[in-house]
Amino acid sequence: MKPVEYNTGKVPNWCPGCGNFAIWNSIKKALSNLEIEPHKLALVSGIGCSGKMVNYVRSYALQTLHGRTMPVATGIKLANPDMTVLVNGGDGDGYGMGVGHLIHAIRRNINVTYIVHHNKVYGLTTGQAAPTSPEGTITKSTPFGVVDATINPLILAMAAGATFVARGYTGESEHLTDLIMQGINHKGFALIDVFQPCVTFGGQYKYEYYDQRVVKMDKMPSHDEAVALAADQEKLSIGLYSQYERAPYEARHPEISRTVEMKDVSKLIEAYI
Amino acid sequence: MEKTFVWKVGGPAGFGITTLGPVFAKILKDCGYFIHGYLEYPSLIRGGYNSYQMVFGKTPVTAPKKRIDLYIALDDVCFERETFDDDTIVIGDFDNLKKADGIKGVKVNVPLKKIVEDLNGKDIMRNTAALGASVAALGLPEDVMAAVVAASYPGKISKPNVDAAQAGFSHCKPMIKLEKTDNGSCKKAPVMTGNEAVSIGAIRAGVTFFSTYPMTPASSILHYLAKEARDYHVTVKHAEDEIAGILMAIGAAHAGARAMTGTSGGGFALMNEGFGLAAITEIPIVVALSQRPGPATGMPTWTEQADLQYALHASQGEFLRAIYSPADLDEAYKFTIDAFNLAEKYQIPVIVLLDKFLSESHFMAHDMDTNYGTMDRGLIFKGNPEKPYEHFKRYEETENGVPTRSIPGTPGGLFVAGSNEHDKTGFVIDSADNRVYQTDRRFKKQPFVAAEMPHPYLIGKEDAPLTFVCFGSMKQVLLEAMKYDDRFNFIYFPAVHPLEWEKIADLLKGRNLVAFENNKTAQLRALIAENTGIYIQKTCLKYDGRPFFTEEVVEYVGEALK
């Protein structure tokens, strides 16, 4: 299938120039390159602008609740490991409300690919602070500046033991397509944090900001280098930060069965006689 | 009417109180008696006061009592917690008990400490020695006891326990003359808890996915299914919280699993948003909800029926859910099986509403048919291999408001399961016409679901001067009380929603009604008033964390009909 054939016929209602268009295009290209058929793709999303992705990619889609993509995606993959599970969510969704679920998804190493739309702001709700907003950022919910320390998703994920951690940028679309393909091919949980400027509510964090700072890594860094690069707020390195092998979650559940049938419980009842 | 006996054992947690119950239950039923075992325990691991009460007789027994015939005191704490009358037989190691002076009852001194020391056994075996003494006091056969004890303890601890039981037995003479019974049906009847019946029902119904977070008194469903997961192919997950618990189940059900979760009120509070997600996406799930006293942590190990209105209204917005309220093992088993079919046939969330009394007490099942139920997964799209990448109108009515499900992986069945209001293919849309169409279509299922719910019915003599109205486990209490005073009858609700209320109004009319509920605010009464306009004036309510004891019902009836 060509990338355009993954379109659903629905026209995205993101703002003109929104970084989500680039993510949308990269997803379609990655699916096309990997020849993933739409009926074998489970697309899961959270709530917010990123969550609207379910309407625009031909798939079996499920739009969950705010912050709750991870458990739903986990349930889908455990019930049918043959599905490719691809998740989209915002940084508020995944690193705010959903951060607990994220850590547990990483622990489990469930074989799903999680694209986090990182724009340092709550866009759809017209501009409140995100967990990724740097200290001092003035927003509607933080008129005197953000006081909370900023979440660093890459360091958090690596510390939690994520088997695939990457960072992309919507200004580097081909690079992003490649990261998404690597994430889908990875046998385990893949976190792809994507700088996706919010052109309306993003404040200073727009394309100009990132264009001046983003650099591509030419190879996967060592663990110590990866932590240092992830912590650097001036030079923003994109690419694969960390990857290692560990059996995916669904492979460690021999009890998984897709056959639903009435069962003989006579032995279970006899045990109580 | 024949006498039912009450045997009770008490002591601190860690003294083997709870393990003794099922062992004694098996001895009794092998001797042909009907049993009911009621457990009380605080929320701690060591210390405090645990007790296990066994009620038994020649006819079915279903509720606990206040008066004790025979009591085993394993510790001085027992005398602070229990009161006896002159006839109560109290078995204890009185040389080692300091607070027993002045207690009422007939003391039987059994040197439990010495028995266990002589056998070089562990302290905890005092419980088995005491059991042996109580079996002797009741005049029950030693060989049945020895066989049951031997089979109840595995491997190396089997023989020491048999020795302890027999030594205890030899220290006591028969003191109570039980009526002889040779009821073979008891021997063949399983004894288990309500949660075990729910779990077995779920396995019977072909559950393939269960995820939750532990919460008393629902945890034993998780434990049971986890234990049987590999033999019966159930993916069982202890998730990070109840939010994840219900959402994993929803994800699995979306992908084709038969999925379930189970919790108590606090966990269900966390599940609420997910419960609504299941409703709007029409992803079928079953929730076992076992009530305990709230709000918040409340009384974790005690019972109440105070989550009825909560179950009816949980989660924002208006949507259809179904709620079964089983009273006993047979219903817990059958309704769980029915719940899966109902959930999938109508694509709605279904609750099996339990309480601690049903979830954790031991009952005897008489009608747990291993062949019960047939698989009904409702309308499922078979696929279109010709056009595998096409979208499908997943949210268009096929019949009775119910659309046809499409399971991910099926060619040509693409759709969006949207938590937003959505069009027939599932795409987000907020047009007025579509909102009304989808809301009406989802509610159109209601009368068809109501017709499939077990209907409330009258138990007892048609013309009794007093009619209790109850739901769930309170049926068991009223059945027991009816053996002592049959001047009342009762209307029992095996399900609470949705129901065919016109028929129920006819059932209620012209009776001296009393709302009989294990809560403070008579929540079933409110539901009845809302749907029939009939407001039941009188109430008999209990909300101290305990179920009604048989004597309390008999007393109420006596006063009311004075």
CATH number at residue B155: 3.40.920.10
Q: Which of B250, B261, B376, B425 to mutate to test the interface with A (most CBs of A within 10 A)?
A: B250
- Residues B133/B172, Cβ–Cβ less than 8 Å: yes
Structural domain boundaries, residue B148:
5-188
> Are residues B32 and B159 part of one domain?
yes
Are residues A262 and B419, on separate chains, in Cβ contact within 8 Å?
no
d(CA A92, CA A101): 13
Q: Do B172 and B309 share a domain, yes or no?
A: no
Is B420 within the bounds of a domain?
yes
Is B21 within the bounds of a domain? yes
Domain at B311, CATH number: 3.40.50.970
Q: State the pTM of this model.
A: 0.97
- One domain, residues B416 and B398: yes
Domain end, chosen from B364, B393, B424, is at B364
The number of CA neighbours under 13 Å toward the Cβ of B465 is 8
How many domains does chain B contain in total?
Answer: 4
Residue numbers in A near B244 (CB within 8 A):
68, 70-71, 74, 101, 104
- Structural domain contains residue B535: yes
Task: Specify the fold of A3-270.
Answer: Rossmann fold (3.40.50)
Statement to judge: residues B219 and B346 lie in one domain: yes
Structural domain ending residue among the three candidates B333, B364, B395: B364
**CA-closest candidate to residue A207, choices A89, A117, A119, A116:** A119
Output the domain CATH number for residue B461. Answer: 3.40.50.920
How many Å apart are CA B458 and CA B121, to the nearest integer? 53
Please indicate whether, in this complex, the C-beta atoms of B250 and A61 are within 8 angstroms of each other.
no
Q: How far is A16 from chain B (nearest CA, A)?
A: 20
The answer to whether B88 touches B10, Cβ cutoff 8 Å, is no
Q: Which of B212, B206, B218, B221 is nearest to B274 (CA)?
A: B212
Q: Which of B247, B391, B411 is opposite residue A75, by nearest beta carbon?
A: B247
The 10 Å Cβ neighbour count of residue A161 is: 14
Residues of B in contact with A261 (CB under 8 A): 206, 375
Name the residue ranges covered by the structural domains of chain A: 3-270
- Quick one: B195 and B278 in the same domain? yes
Looking at chain A, the whole-number percentage of residues with pLDDT higher than 90 is 98
From residue B47, how far is each of B15, B77, B80, B82, B92 by CA, in Å? 9, 9, 14, 16, 18
Burial B410-435 (b: 16+ CB within 10 A, else e): bbbbbbbbbbbbbbbbbbbbeeeebe
- The verdict on a CB contact (< 8 Å) between A54 and B253 is no
Q: For chain A, which ranges sit under pLDDT 50? A: none
Given the cut 0.95, state whether the ipTM is greater than it: yes
Indicate the length of chain B as a whole number: 562
Same domain, residue pair B350 and B257: yes
Asked if residue B385 and residue B323 are part of one domain, the reply reads: no
Place of tokens 């759809």: A124
Give pLDDT, residue B1.
55
Q: Are residues B39 and B106 in the same domain?
A: yes
Pairing of strands B34-40, B47-57: antiparallel
Is residue B221 located within the same domain as residue B333? yes
In this structure, the answer to whether residues B218 and B126 fall within a common structural domain is no
Which residues of chain B fall below pLDDT 70? 1-2
CA B217 – CA A12 distance, rounded (Å): 47
Task: Collect all residues with Cβ–Cβ distance below 8 Å to B394 and sequence separation of at least 6.
Answer: B381, B403, B404, B405, B406, B413, B415, B417, B424, B425, B426
Please say whether the beta carbons of B344 and B377 come within 8 A: yes
Do B41 and B129 share a domain, yes or no?
Answer: yes
Same domain, B49 and B127: yes
